[in-house]
Chain A
Amino acid sequence: MNDAKGGGPDKPRAIVVGHGEFAGGLVSAVGQICGLADKLVVLSMMGKTPEDIEGAIREEIARTGARVIFTDLPAGSATLAARRIVKEDPGVVLVSGVNLATLLDFVFNTEVSPTEAARAAAERGKASLIVVGR
């Protein structure tokens, strides 16, 4: 189903899920900056039970072949749902605490597998957090 580059050249490579409109806003920003929003699937948690969230992520993995899940909060329901999925399928990678720098690095890094790209993107995302001023 998946090749090393993800679910196929025209398919999304990752699922982004978070609270409120977070995922949609983040992916919209990716689209505005580089036009690669179609490499990401947006899922909202609003009004969903943990089972609904887990089911929705599983559906998108099955539909797209994506092997990477980005979530916002480590304590969030989406992160817990994704960790259940990773437990069953260690080939899927979860990155929690996603930010815009992480996603931008990920969508451009097509020379490696999505899971490798996710690990590299997480490092870029960490490094993008800076504090300026006293």
Chain B
Amino acid sequence: MGINLYRIDDRLIHGQVVVGWGQPLNVRFLVLVDDLVASSDWEKELYRMAIPPEMEIFFADVGTAIRDHPRYASDPRPGLLITGDIGSMLRLVKGVKAIGNVNLGGIHHRAGRAEKLRYVFLTPEEEEQLRDLEASGVEVTAQDVPSARAVALPEVLDGESK
């Protein structure tokens, strides 16, 4: 089984992840890759209390996630790995070199970002990071929930589907 979904979502653990994807994929473990969360016991406890009892959660900074990726990938249970930003996923992809697909699940509006989809807003630097992800051999698609259409990266960056 291992990691069934690699997702970028600035909300990290929330309803779409735990229920929206967690239920249909029968997710039994989550890997939350975030340097800040991994360094804070309180933040880890906050997210730990948010997940249902049937799920286990691992916290890792990007470096630890690269080191421990073989363990996640060989876990017999279905898993989901999430980063809160594109840069962290890019570092992970370049470090692991075994990630084939990345799901862009939610990058929301803030100053300097332009709307690409209802749930995807990007700075020019983030657009470049996504191109870099695909250049690294990863297929990037945007899809907030399983029932939605997976939007290919060129269409996302084009912004015509918003």
User: Contact mask A51-87 → B, CB, 8 Å, 1/0?
Assistant: 0100000000000000000001111110110011001
Beta-carbon contact of B10 and A80 below 8 Å:
no
Beta-carbon contact of A75 and B110 below 8 Å:
no
Beta-carbon contact of A80 and B46 below 8 Å:
yes
Beta-carbon contact of B19 and A49 below 8 Å:
no
Q: How many B residues touch the partner, as a band?
A: 20 to 34
Known contacts A50-B11, A87-B42; is A80 also within 8 Å of B50 by CB? yes
Q: Chain B residues near A133 (CB, 8 Å)?
A: none
Q: Chain B residues near A73 (CB, 8 Å)?
A: 15, 18-19
A126 on the B face (CB < 8 A) = no
Beta-carbon contact of B15 and A47 below 8 Å:
no
A-B pairs with CB below 8 Å: how many? 48
A20–chain B nearest beta-carbon distance, Å: 10
Q: Which B97-113 residues sit within 8 Å CB-CB of chain A? A: 108-110
Beta-carbon contact of A74 and B50 below 8 Å:
yes
B52 on the A face (CB < 8 A) = yes
The B interface is mostly helix, strand or loop, or mixed, namely loop
User: Contact mask A17-37 → B, CB, 8 Å, 1/0?
Assistant: 001000000000000000000
B13 on the A face (CB < 8 A) = yes
User: Contact mask B103-138 → A, CB, 8 Å, 1/0?
Assistant: 000001110000000110000000000000000000
A73-B18, A73-B19 given; name 17 further pairs at CB < 8 Å: A49-B10, A49-B11, A49-B108, A49-B109, A50-B10, A50-B12, A74-B52, A75-B13, A75-B17, A75-B18, A76-B50, A77-B11, A79-B50, A80-B13, A80-B14, A83-B49, A84-B46
A-binding residues in B (CB < 8 A): 10-15, 17-19, 42, 46-47, 49-52, 108-110, 118-119
